[in-house]
Amino acid sequence: MDNSLLKQYYVNLGVSESVYDYCCDIEDILSERFKEIDKIAELNQVKVIKAMQDAKFSEAHLNGTTGYGYNDAGREAIEEVYAKVFGTEDALVRQQITCGTHALTIALSANLRPGDEILSPVGDVYDTLQGVIGVREQKGSLSEFGITYRQVNLLPNGDFDFEGIKAAINPATKLIEIQRSKGYDVRPSLSVARIARLIKFVKEIKPDVICMVDNCYGEFVETEEPSQYGADMVVGSLIKNPGGGLAPIGGYICGTKECIENCAYRLTSPGLGKEVGASLNVTRLIAQGLFLAPTVTASALKGAIFAANLYERLGFKTIPNATETRADIIQAVEFNDPEKVIAFCEGIQAAAPVDSFVTPVPWAMPGYDSDVIMAAGAFISGASIELSADAPIKEPYAVYFQGGLTYQHAKYGIMMSLQRLVDKNLVELN
């Protein structure tokens, strides 16, 4: 292929020749790393195909139902597929679940009762979940129903504080909440191996404790999931990794039969559970999105690694760093400067296929304790498996980049983020 023609296309899209050349130098060193990601995607792809075949997923399952949704064979089939993919006894996969926070709220409120306690052994939970639990005062929080919370922070080096966790577990401890991804934090995200070790540790102390993993952003990044290592529930959003960019809404909870039954009763009502909930015409998109999810996740991972290598070379701290093994699709870059954060997000927005002409600005987003800037020109509103970036406008002024339905789009977004920084004289190419 004529590389000069490709370069000209990028120039026409707003990328200067100097930024283009700089980014190509970074990309050239990543070919072997990208091959490893493709192998993970291949394994996960055949895993999904096998689950669909074992469930005898058929064309008839793609049709939707209305009203109560009784006898919705497609809904039941997709939940069987999810259970097989994640290696669990059962699954709840519904478009009635509005987001990841909603899925987590269902999982918590369904399996906890007044007097029970939640323990986070990995430090702070995600901002929106703080309101759900009652760490931050919020109407309708679990704390209003007599459910308590405590946490054990990670050690300064990022390791689990096993002594602290052991001391924190008490007779009231009913559920261990393990957040796989870093969220708006600069701690390391957790690999499946680390989560497995943590689950084994807490189960040895209290065998009947429920271990719930907030799996958002982590699905299909590795070849295994936490549910294969003792997690009683794994919870996530369909507009992140497992939706493959096609699911227009929804969330999933995979886990033990008892936990999922409780979740179904909480989602709908006692006595009805999984028997109601019309699929309308969404089953096709949920199924096809899951089919594409391994390769879409691989594209997002490549984009994250490209970003880490690029910004680390420019002297910024990246989490994970340029060489670390990945546990999720999130890439954090610490800028220590709000102007750089805003410029980065402007570049991501300018690279979008939708709303590229919009300028993102910080605003008081519900559920957060500071202004947040969000850049996303997505086909599905808020879909963070699509190219997006967001950041709370507070120290250490770190931006969180994720997604990219294709690597090529993620690459272009990172190029444009750098271009905005260069244009505003906030960085110099070295």
* pLDDT tens string 386-407: 999 999 999 999 999 999 999 9
Find out whether 122 and 154 touch, Cβ atoms under 8 Å: yes
Alpha carbon separation from 1 to 5, 67, 415 (Å, rounded): 8, 54, 21
**197: its two tokens:** 């070790």
pLDDT over 70 (residue 301) = yes
Q: Which of 86, 106, 110 is nearest to 97 (CA)?
A: 106
Class of domain 54-290: alpha beta
Mean pLDDT of 282-310: 98
Fold of 3-43+295-423: Aspartate Aminotransferase, domain 1 (3.90.1150)
Find out whether 18 and 429 touch, Cβ atoms under 8 Å: yes
pLDDT over 70 (residue 420) = yes
Four-residue CA torsion sign, 284, 288, 290, 296 = negative
What is the distance between the alpha carbons of residues 298 and 404, in angstroms, rounded to a whole number? Answer: 9
Residue 430: predicted pLDDT: 81
**Lowest-pLDDT range of 45-49, 283-287, 395-399:** 395-399
Task: Identify the residue whose tokens are 């250490």.
Answer: 396
Domain coordinates in residue numbering, the chain:
3-43+295-423, 54-290
Question: Max Cα separation, the chain?
Answer: 67
What is the distance between the alpha carbons of residues 250 and 293, in angstroms, rounded to a whole number? Answer: 15
Following DSSP, what letter does each residue of 4-71 receive, concatenated?
HHHHHHHHHTT--HHHHHHHHHHHHTTHHHHHHHHHHHHHHHHHHHHHHHHTT--GGGGS---TT-TT
pLDDT over 90 (residue 186) = no
Four-residue CA torsion sign, 72, 285, 77, 91 = negative
Residue 366: predicted pLDDT: 75
Q: What are the φ and ψ backbone dihedral angles of 274, each rounded to 5 degrees?
A: -80, -5
Give the pairing of strands 148-151 and 317-319. Answer: unpaired
* pLDDT tens string 106-139: 999 999 999 999 999 999 998 889 999 999 989 9
